[in-house]
Amino acid sequence: MRTNDTIKIDIIQTIVWLFLFFSISIVMEVQSWSQTVDFTTAQSRLLEGNLKLKALHQKTLQYKSRISQDSSLPDPKVKLGLNNVPVSKPSFNESDMTSKEIGIYQMFPFFGKLSAKERIAILEYEKAVAMYRFYQSYYLHAVRSYFFEIAYLKEYVKIIEETKKYLTILLEIQKSRSTAGIGMVSDVLKIIVELSKLDEEIIKVNTAIAETESTIAYLLGDSNGEKKNYSADIDYTSITIHNQPNSDVSEKVLSENPEIQLLSLQIQMDEEWVNLKQKDLYPDVEIGVSYMQRDNTPQGAARDDMFSVMATFNIPAWFTSKNIPAIQEMNIKKGQSEAELNDKKNEITFALSTISINTEKWKQLHELYSKHVIPHLETMLQTDIAYYRTGTTEFMKLMDTIRMLLDYKKEQLNTIKEYCKAVSFLHFLQGDTSILNWSGIQ
């Protein structure tokens, strides 16, 4: 018979085991939750962890530190010398011309050169910042697009599973009819083949999802190999397609697009280079001051120390073969940058026009599929299944209806996906580096 002490020990052990069980469950739940990356979290982690963005950020800091370097004077030079020391009898007091010299020399570029170099360095830094913003917006668009693709593929799997239910109903009907001797075994095999083809499609879709998630992990800088769950569960039916872009968005794109800003900065920098090359036609000057100390004569007579001041100029004597071609080169470079800027503006205008045309197409197609094609096909399918039970509808006609319904539901889903990608692309064209949520796509 068990004593009270034994019962108490058993109760305590049970409580301890329950405590350990719930603690482990909570830890596992927290770990599982921590491995889930949703749409907005992925964008934040991209800006923090993408290795390309980290490198570009370091590059901006590099160009920022270069500004003070390029606007500084060249390093001064110090001269230490022994002048006119006799060869036959080296001495510092035998000859009146012998002296010890110390001097300092400083090169002063022609007026305006340093300020031009400083402006070029500032423009280089601003270009680096614009390039950093360009890649931020580009990778944000890429990650968003991959999430849209995952959401699309997951919804597509649901459509396939729904289609399999219809085929399963047909399979049961056809088996019953074959058992009764009024159906064909070949039709049963055809349905089984169709189900296998849908299973094959699901395998391909799941593989595409895994590849897309791997690409997202690469962009986010997840190199530890941990399996992440990328939550892209979006209700595509909640998104309404609106015409894009409006006039305000178009103006904002043309005024804030990073590539346009990069080319505009390049033109300004080319102008500064032309200015700098033109200043090379004028000489720089080097100012030097020297102090020469002379020892007393052997008889003890004092000799005065001396100092020298000198200016040295460089002469651009070969300007016809050197300086003028350099100026022409920079003018050509400026013309090239201006042509590239105009081309980029045309390219973006064309992209905006294409988005406008496509969003109108997606809007019309989505409305057509949602209100007319898919409801009619669903009604037709239900009617055909009912008639098929009685043997008044052909088998292949029913199969064609099922395939058509699958295709049109897939196309309806695709219109939403492409619209979401287009809206994200507009944010990329604006150079927008803010974090978007699902509602920001509508």
**pLDDT tens-digit readout, 208-220:** 999 999 999 999 9
- Please state, in angstroms and rounded to a whole number, the distance separating the CA atoms of residues 241 and 366: 8
Beta carbons within 8 Å of 137's beta carbon, 6+ residues apart? 258, 427, 428, 430, 431, 432, 433
pLDDT band per the 50, 70, 90 thresholds, residue 378: very high
Which domain covers residue 304, as residue numbers? Answer: 80-106+282-315
Looking at the fold, whether 398 and 253 belong to one and the same domain comes out as yes
Q: Which residues is 290 bridged to in the sheet?
A: 103, 308
Q: Span 272-278, mean pLDDT?
A: 93
Q: Span 185-207, mean pLDDT?
A: 90
Looking at the fold, whether 198 and 100 belong to one and the same domain comes out as no
- Domain termination residue (choose one: 315, 338, 366): 315
Looking at the fold, whether 65 and 140 belong to one and the same domain comes out as yes
Looking at the fold, whether 179 and 306 belong to one and the same domain comes out as no
> What does the angle CA 135 – CA 141 – CA 143 come to, to the nearest 5 degrees?
100
Looking at the fold, whether 129 and 214 belong to one and the same domain comes out as yes
DSSP string, 230-264: E-----GGG--------HHHHHHHHHH-HHHHHHH
Is 7's pLDDT higher than 60? no
Looking at the fold, whether 148 and 243 belong to one and the same domain comes out as yes
Q: Is the model's pTM score more than 0.85?
A: no
pLDDT band per the 50, 70, 90 thresholds, residue 12: low
**pLDDT tens-digit readout, 253-269:** 999 999 999 999 999 99
Looking at the fold, whether 91 and 235 belong to one and the same domain comes out as no
pLDDT above 70 as % of the chain: 89
Q: Are 56 and 135 within 8 A, CB to CB? A: yes
What pLDDT shows up at residue 395? 79
Q: Which tokens is 43 given? A: 């964008």
Cα maximum dimension of the chain = 143
- Please state, in angstroms and rounded to a whole number, the distance separating the CA atoms of residues 253 and 430: 4
Domain count for the chain: 3
What pLDDT shows up at residue 298? 78
Q: Are 77 and 267 within 8 A, CB to CB? A: no
Q: Span 237-254, mean pLDDT?
A: 87
Is 25's pLDDT higher than 70? no
Half-sphere exposure in the Cβ direction for 259 (13 Å, CA): 15
Q: 165: closest CA among 208, 194, 200, 206?
A: 194
- Please state, in angstroms and rounded to a whole number, the distance separating the CA atoms of residues 358 and 243: 9
CATH number of the structural domain spanning residue 177: 1.20.1600.10
Q: 341: closest CA among 333, 159, 424?
A: 333
Q: Who has greater pLDDT, 229 or 114?
A: 114
Q: Which tokens is 347 given? A: 């390219």
Q: Are 258 and 133 within 8 A, CB to CB? A: yes
Q: Span 419-430, mean pLDDT?
A: 94
- Please state, in angstroms and rounded to a whole number, the distance separating the CA atoms of residues 239 and 421: 13
What pLDDT shows up at residue 32? 41
How remote is the C-alpha of 129 from its chain's centroid?
13
Cβ of 436: how many Cβ atoms within 10 Å?
17
Contacts 24+ apart (CB under 8 A), 311-314: 311/285, 311/286, 311/287, 312/285, 312/286, 312/288, 313/283, 313/284, 313/285, 313/286, 314/283, 314/284
Looking at the fold, whether 304 and 417 belong to one and the same domain comes out as no
Is 271's pLDDT higher than 80? yes
Looking at the fold, whether 287 and 277 belong to one and the same domain comes out as no
Picking from 60-64, 67-71, 101-105, which range would have the lowest pLDDT averaged per residue? Answer: 67-71
pLDDT band per the 50, 70, 90 thresholds, residue 270: very high
Burial class (CB in 10 A: 0-12, 13-18, 19+), 95: middle
| Cα-based distances in Å from 160 to 194, 372, 412 | 11, 21, 14
Picking from 26-30, 171-175, 217-221, 432-436, which range would have the lowest pLDDT averaged per residue? Answer: 26-30
Is 23's pLDDT higher than 60? no
Looking at the fold, whether 29 and 51 belong to one and the same domain comes out as no
Looking at the fold, whether 330 and 416 belong to one and the same domain comes out as yes
Looking at the fold, whether 12 and 121 belong to one and the same domain comes out as no
Q: Span 319-329, mean pLDDT?
A: 91
pLDDT band per the 50, 70, 90 thresholds, residue 30: very low
Is 414's pLDDT higher than 50? yes
Q: Are 122 and 116 within 8 A, CB to CB? A: no
DSSP string, 320-357: TTTHHHHHHHHHHHHHHHHHHHHHHHHHHHHHHHHHHH
Burial class (CB in 10 A: 0-12, 13-18, 19+), 232: buried
